[in-house]
């Protein structure tokens, strides 16, 4: 049975960026996973060189894993060379930003996104997951809505052909900085504007629980655009990123809703091991057993629907 988990970079090895990640990949495969979501550098504006992309492709292949998704970067993140001891005024890194009204900055964000599309193509991943950072103020009035979507549409227009040529789709993730109603508006705008062959949905189970507790309306409304999943649990107050069944989410309802879509499994566990005290391999083995359980629930729900 295919299963998928996110690979992170942990600063527990002097060469965390190659040997450290290589070791994590080996342990993920040893635990039984078949696929990964590539997450290193997802929250930074770091641009990968061609040699790094090829090295990444090679170590994933050597581990015997396939890549189900790559987490892209929109160029806005709290990591900056200006602040080593923590965030300081104006230190958030935003110089590459697909939402910027400043053209040089917006174009730089597009170049960064293209870099992650190149990585996905090299890894054979069908999509990249993208944060589109709305707030409730985005839809306050027609002026704020225009100011947000005008640069966003130009950035997506700039990269559409690039993605299509490389057979990499963009999956826009459900986040937590706006209401469920306003995330519905975001997806309605994007999916009306762009074809399903280019843009779809990344359903983040933990994030959606925080904005619409106990409900899965985003899957009910836009399940036909579901490309990627970030599966994790919480208790409804914090973005805990726990393994399923360690929080309060209704996994029967969630798997039933996903099963009703055309989503191509496996589900992707976005569950960093630093939430647990287990050794790395022990953690992956526990995660694998839960992943198999959820994949079985999806298969069972689809089997019932077919009969």
Give me the DSSP letters along 197-224: TTEEEEEEHHHHHHHSTT--HHHHHHGG
Place of tokens 């459900």: 174
- Give the relative orientation of helices 21-31 and 50-62 as an angle to the nearest 10 degrees: 30
pLDDT score at 78: 64
Residue 81, pLDDT above cutoff 70: no
Q: φ, ψ for residue 241 (rounded to 5)?
A: 55, 50
Q: What tens digit of pLDDT does each residue of 231-260 get?
A: 999 999 999 999 999 999 999 999 999 999
Residue 12, pLDDT above cutoff 90: no
Nearest to 229 by CA among 190, 171, 292: 171
- Choice among 141-145, 298-302, 303-307 with the minimum mean pLDDT: 303-307
- pTM (2 d.p.): 0.95
pLDDT score at 75: 79
Please state, in angstroms and as integers, the Cα–Cα distance from residue 240 to each residue in 146, 180, 203, 275, following that order. 33, 19, 16, 8
Q: What percent of the chain has pLDDT over 70?
A: 95
Residue 91, pLDDT above cutoff 60: yes
- Name, in order, each residue with C-beta under 8 angstroms of 182's C-beta and a sequence gap of 6 or more: 134, 136, 138, 139
CATH number at residue 257: 3.20.20.150
Structural domain count of the chain: 1
pLDDT score at 143: 98
Q: What tens digit of pLDDT does each residue of 170-226 get?
A: 999 999 999 999 999 999 999 999 999 999 999 999 999 999 999 999 999 999 999
Residue 84, pLDDT above cutoff 70: no
Higher pLDDT, 46 or 305: 46
CB atoms within 10 A of CB 65: 22
Q: Which domain holds residue 61?
A: 4-306
pLDDT score at 10: 83
d(CA 24, CA 273): 11
- Name, in order, each residue with C-beta under 8 angstroms of 236's C-beta and a sequence gap of 6 or more: 209, 210, 213, 247, 248
The CA angle 116-4-97, to the nearest 5 degrees, is: 25
d(CA 237, CA 255): 22
Q: Are 170 and 196 in contact (CB under 8 A)?
A: no
């Amino acid at each position: 049975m295919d299963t998928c988990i996110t690979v992170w970079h942990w600063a527990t090895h002097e060469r965390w960026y190659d040997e450290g990640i290589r070791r994590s990949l080996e342990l993920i495969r040893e635990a039984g996973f078949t696929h990964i979501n590539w997450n290193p550098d997802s929250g930074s504006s770091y641009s990968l060189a061609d040699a790094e992309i090829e090295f990444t492709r090679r170590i994933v292949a050597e581990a015997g894993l396939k890549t189900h998704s790559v987490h892209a970067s929109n160029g806005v993140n709290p990591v900056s060379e200006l602040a080593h001891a923590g965030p300081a005024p104006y230190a958030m890194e935003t110089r590459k930003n697909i939402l910027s009204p400043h053209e040089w900055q917006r174009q730089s964000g597009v170049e960064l996104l293209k870099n992650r599309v190149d990585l996905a193509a090299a890894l054979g991943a069908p999509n990249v997951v993208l944060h589109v950072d709305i707030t409730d103020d985005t839809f306050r009035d027609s002026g704020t809505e225009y100011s947000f979507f005008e640069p966003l549409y130009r950035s997506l227009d700039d990269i559409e052909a690039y993605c299509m040529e490389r057979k990499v789709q963009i999956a826009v993730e459900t986040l937590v900085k706006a209401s469920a109603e306003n995330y519905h508006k975001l997806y309605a705008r994007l999916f009306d504007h762009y074809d399903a062959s280019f843009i779809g949905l990344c359903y983040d189970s933990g994030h959606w629980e925080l904005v619409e507790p106990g409900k899965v309306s985003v899957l009910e409304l836009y399940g036909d655009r579901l490309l990627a999943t970030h599966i994790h649990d919480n208790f409804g107050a914090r973005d805990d990123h726990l393994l399923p069944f360690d929080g309060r989410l209704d996994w029967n309802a969630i798997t039933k809703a996903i099963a009703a879509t055309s989503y191509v499994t496996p589900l992707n566990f976005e569950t960093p091991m630093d939430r647990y005290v287990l050794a790395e391999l022990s953690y992956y083995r526990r995660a694998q057993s839960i992943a198999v359980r959820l994949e079985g629930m999806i298969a069972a729900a689809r089997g019932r629907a077919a009969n």
